[in-house]
Every structure is written in structure tokens, then in C-alpha cells.
Amino acid sequence: MSEKKNDPQVFKVHGAKQLPSVDVDSYNLEIRDEDGFVGDKASRGAFEEMIEKWRAPLRKLGADPLGEKRAKAISKSRLDEILAEGEPEAAGVVHSAIEEFAQTLCSVLKRYERSASWSGTECVVVGGGFRASRVGELAMGRAEIILKSQKRKIEIELIGNDPDEAGLIGAAHLMPAWTLEGFDGLLAVDIGGTNIRAGIVETRLKKAVDLSKARVAHLEHWRHADDDPKRDEAIARLVEMLSDLISQAEKEKIALAPVVGVGCPGLINEDGSIETGAQNLPGNWESSRFNLANCIRETIPRIGRHESVVIIHNDAVVQGLSELPNMQKYDKWGVLTIGTGLGNARFTNRRATES
């Protein structure tokens, strides 16, 4: 039986549990304890709170080494600079927060492992905006050392692609490679609690059929958190970004597949609506009267000579899929995306069977 016949649902189901190369065992896992959602303890906001905690005693003495700005207003690059070249006391505050965050992340990960859908996880890839900093990298390195010292059989790896691009590149893995044959690339969207990114992903299938050579050729970025838009305004801006990318592809003679792959926070229903988990997005994206897939398809009905198709999955799933070519040595692996919240997904690789 051909691969095409094995995938009759490829363009019909959003948030699919079975994708061309992996089974999605779990995503958007929400575990509560007495303090609330476990994942919230290992988000970017949690790290900022840790910095505030460690600088508070110094502030009371009238000598805050980090200055007047609150942690939320200090950029990742500035924290990296303080860590590398700042005064010892200021660097010590950042180091203390890194250590606490690493310990907390290990606790969160071990809690996930106790759930049935995460049992047996061999490796966890870490992405998201926090990973795109030296501070984030050191926190992940420290977390791995902690796990190994506890004899936990789980590896921690940093996502290979730039986190800003990984959430776009992963969209190419939402569909079988054969559906992209004859085209140069596809449109991809990464919707987050702070930013919306859209781009042209060049698949470069002739260089690598496993999409390991895929890259983002053009990227549109909008930090919507600065503008505080309503939901419909956000969708209108997204459509504008996609339209600009289509025009750019036409100018450069990049043949786009008639597909828009979208990563979005929350639990994605089969019809493309969002059930839960989109609380950080502008406006109400969980309304029964709102369907993200339909909104995009209705405003961009055609790409090139073909009717457009929209495929939506959870943003952590999509970002994790970008690392799929590098995860072939594992059977069961997961992804954590550390940003506005803590995104998560767990996969089981499906091996090709002999005919």
C-alpha cells in the first residue's frame, strides 16, 4: 500500500495524535498541585520572579546591583551581559536565579515523567524564547547535571534551530513529505503569548528528504504584546503578514505549497478550534464562535493556483517537530518550550516498516 493511501486524513484533522513520523502521546499537559499549575513554576515569568526574590534582600539594604528596572523589563541580552561581565554581586543574583530555576525545572520534569503519557521519556528538547539566551542555556545545562547526579536516565538537549524559527520549521512535519513534492516551500505561523511570527519555510527536499535541511527563507515578526490588540485585530495583522509573504514568494519565484501550517497554544480540536490553553493570547480564542483555521482559510482562499489548506497543531508540538531529524536515536522523547508559559509535548517515533 502506498504512503499516500496510508494518510487519507492528512489535511482533515487538526491537533492530530498521529503524524507522519511520530505519535503525539501528550501535549498541553496540565498538572496541578497545591500552588496551581506545575508548569507555571518553570516559565519565563517564574525565572523573573526568582531574580526578584534574590535581589530583594539587597534592595532592602539600599544597594540593588541590578539597578532600578524590574526583572521583567531587563532583556535577555542584558542578563547575559551581567552574567559575563557584570559586577560580582549582580552576576551572583543571576547565578542564584539560574540555580533555583534549574532545580525547579527538574522537579517539573520529574512530575511530568510520573504521568502515563510521559513515562519512559529518554530525551527532552528545550526550546522557547528563554532557551535563546546564555542564561537559559546555563539553566538547562545545570538541570541536566542535577538529573544525572540523581541517576535519572533522561537527556536534556537544546533545540537545534533558532527558537524563533523552530516553531515555523516544525510545521513542515505536520504533513507527509510527498505532499510538498513539486513545491519549494510552505507558509508557517507560530502564535505565542507575546509574539506572532509567520514565515516561508523552504523544505529543500532534494537535499534531505527528512526535512533536516529545511530553513526559514523569510520571516515576519510582530510583538503583539506591545500593541494589546483585540482578537480580530490580531487575526487581521496575521493575514496581512501572510499576504506579504505570498507576494514575496511570487517575486522570488518560490513555489509555495497551498498549505499554511500553524502552531498555536492550547488544546486544538479536530475542527481547528481551540478548546483550552489560549488564555495568554489577545482576546478570546476559545470561543465556540471562533475557528482559527476557518478565519485563515477564508481570508487566504488560494495560494498560487490551488485552494489553500490550513493545518493547526499545538505550538510546542510544532516546535518539537523541528528537532525530529535529530531525535531518531530515541524512541520516546519530549519537548519543553519555555516562554510566556511552559509548553510541553511528548512523542514516540514511528519507525518505517519493511514492505
What are the residue ranges spanned by the domains of the chain? Answer: 32-158, 162-322
- What pLDDT is recorded for position 5? 36
- What pLDDT is recorded for position 7? 42
Instruction: Please name the residues in contact with 346: beta carbons below 8 A apart, sequence gap of 6 or more.
Output: 24, 25, 26, 27, 29, 112, 117, 118, 121, 332, 333, 334, 335
- What pLDDT is recorded for position 8? 38
Cα three-residue angle 18-22-23, rounded to 5 degrees: 45
The alpha carbon torsion through 71, 76, 77, 80 (nearest 10 deg) reads: 80
Show the cell assigned to 112. 511530568
- How far apart, in Å, are the Cα atoms of 121 and each of 125, 142, 253, 278? 11, 19, 43, 26
- What pLDDT is recorded for position 311? 96
**β-pair type (302-303, 306-307):** antiparallel
Q: CA–CA separation, 270 vs 249, rounded Å?
A: 30
pTM (2 decimals)? 0.91
Q: CA–CA separation, 325 vs 278, rounded Å?
A: 29
- What pLDDT is recorded for position 12? 54
Q: CA–CA separation, 277 vs 292, rounded Å?
A: 14
- What pLDDT is recorded for position 23? 96
- What pLDDT is recorded for position 13? 80
Same fold, 32-158 and 162-322: yes
Classify domain 162-322 at the CATH superfamily level.
Answer: ATPase, nucleotide binding domain (3.30.420.40)
- What pLDDT is recorded for position 352? 67
Handedness of CA 284, 287, 292, 296 (dihedral sign): negative
Contact 214, 202 (CB under 8 A): yes
pLDDT in tens, the chain (355 residues): 333 333 434 455 899 999 999 999 999 998 988 888 888 899 999 999 999 999 999 988 888 899 989 999 999 999 999 999 999 999 999 999 999 999 999 999 999 999 999 999 999 999 998 988 999 999 999 999 999 999 988 999 999 999 899 999 999 999 988 899 999 999 999 999 899 999 999 999 999 999 999 999 999 999 999 999 999 999 999 999 999 999 999 999 999 999 999 999 999 999 999 999 888 899 999 998 999 999 999 999 999 999 999 999 999 999 999 999 999 999 999 999 998 889 999 999 987 653 3
Cα 208 to chain centroid, rounded: 23
- Grid-cell match 524559527, residue found: 165
Contact 239, 289 (CB under 8 A): no
Q: Which of 57, 169, 48 is nearest to 98 (CA)?
A: 48
Q: Which of 239, 156, 167 is nearest to 201 (CA)?
A: 167
Fold topology of 32-158 = Nucleotidyltransferase; domain 5 (3.30.420)
For 194, half-sphere exposure in the C-beta direction (CA atoms, 13 angstrom radius) is 11
- What pLDDT is recorded for position 280? 87
Within 10 Å of residue 71's Cβ, how many Cβ atoms? 21
- What pLDDT is recorded for position 265? 94
